Copies of this chain bind each other. A is one copy, B any other.
Amino acid sequence: MNFRSDNEAPVNPIIMQAIIDANQGYDESYGYDKYSEALTEEFKQLFGCWCEVIPLATGTAANSLAIALAAPPYGSAFCFHRSHLNADECGAPEFFSDGVKLIGIDGENGKIDLDKLENTLANSGVHGEHECLPSVISITQSTEAGTIYSSEEMDRLLEIKNKYGLYLHIDGARIANAVAALNQPIAEMTWKKGVDLLSFGATKNGAMMAEALVIFNPKIIGDIKRRRKRAGHLISKMRYVSAQLLAYLKDHLWLKLANHANSQAQYFYESLKNSHKFVYPVQANEAFLQLPISVISELRVKGFEFHIWPGSNDIIRLVFSHSTKKDDVTNLIETIVNLCK
């Protein structure tokens, strides 16, 4: 029973069928196929606004291209200090952007402390050209801690971004889980809050390898297609990526899958929150639970798979995915309850 990562889940059958269906004869390569050409229109309808859509195979590429578009090589990007962007991409944002400096801001619940962000920005630029140029804020939504920036926090980010003349990027590897949780139109959580670039993830939520970099701001610098190509991310048979994204969007599949995952997390959380310590509020599809070390060992013996959170020895991360079975969650809950008796 795998609660280790939504990256380890299989591909949703509807998406797999879309891949199979795309395999009919010849179609143009490098994004001129009929699936890729339909993609932008679908995204425009989803968001209700102009946007440019770049299909990609990895979230690292989406995030890193976003930073490269939003900041010059001598710029700086502000993000949560332990965000994927800063801690888990092996320097990809720096690489794609030819040297942008990531400035990590800490905060509670896996989110940037917005006062600290503003304070850092207020003290930036004192040294002129001796400092990198503040260029972009990047947040993760939902966060790596399974939490969500609220509408009010997004308003505050918009205010800060405008005050300091920055771009705003969302690493949306799990944006579907955030949208499902907040139960708002995705437009309200993105471009209407001043978001300029969104890494719209699908892989973790049921696709095989499909992400879309969505650009809302037509003033974003540079030539995204050449940047994608020179990074080796122009997939020759792109139809197989775009077909995944089309299926993912169709009939709100993406939201249905995210709702399923979130529901499992909520079920787990509600069942144990009174008896156990959760490190962060469970707002999306992840739970961070503190347990006695002996219980953790026993869970593994019984076939439950999960990560012990780095830096701790008694906190486990549980990820609930589009394909998590409720019975497995029930089993997990009951096992924890029994082991903790």
> For residue A56, which residue of chain B has the nearest CB?
B232
Report chain B residues within 8 Å CB of A310. Answer: 123, 126-127
Given contacts A11-B237, A73-B73, A99-B230, 14 further A-B contacts (CB under 8 A): A2-B26, A7-B237, A8-B26, A8-B28, A10-B25, A11-B23, A26-B305, A74-B91, A88-B130, A91-B101, A94-B100, A95-B98, A98-B99, A209-B241
Cross-chain pairs A/B with CB under 8 angstroms, 10 sampled: A2-B26, A58-B233, A72-B226, A88-B131, A94-B99, A95-B231, A99-B99, A128-B225, A209-B209, A231-B232
Answer whether residue A20 sits at the interface, using C-beta atoms and an 8 A cutoff: yes
Decide: B10 and A230 in contact? CB cutoff 8 A: no
Of B9, B95, B133, which one neighbours A26 at CB under 8 angstroms? B9
Contact with B along A43-74 (1 / 0, CB 8 A): 00000000000001111110010000000111
Q: Which of A4, A132, A231, A311 has the most CB of B within 10 A?
A: A231
Q: How far is the CB of A81 from chain B (nearest CB, A)?
A: 10
Does A113 make an interface contact (CB < 8 A)?
no
A42 within 8 Å of B (CB atoms): no
Report which A residues bind B (CB closer than 8 A).
Answer: 2, 4-5, 7-11, 16, 19-20, 23-30, 56-61, 64, 72-74, 76, 87-92, 94-96, 98-102, 123, 126-133, 203-204, 208-209, 222-223, 225-237, 240-241, 305, 310-311, 323
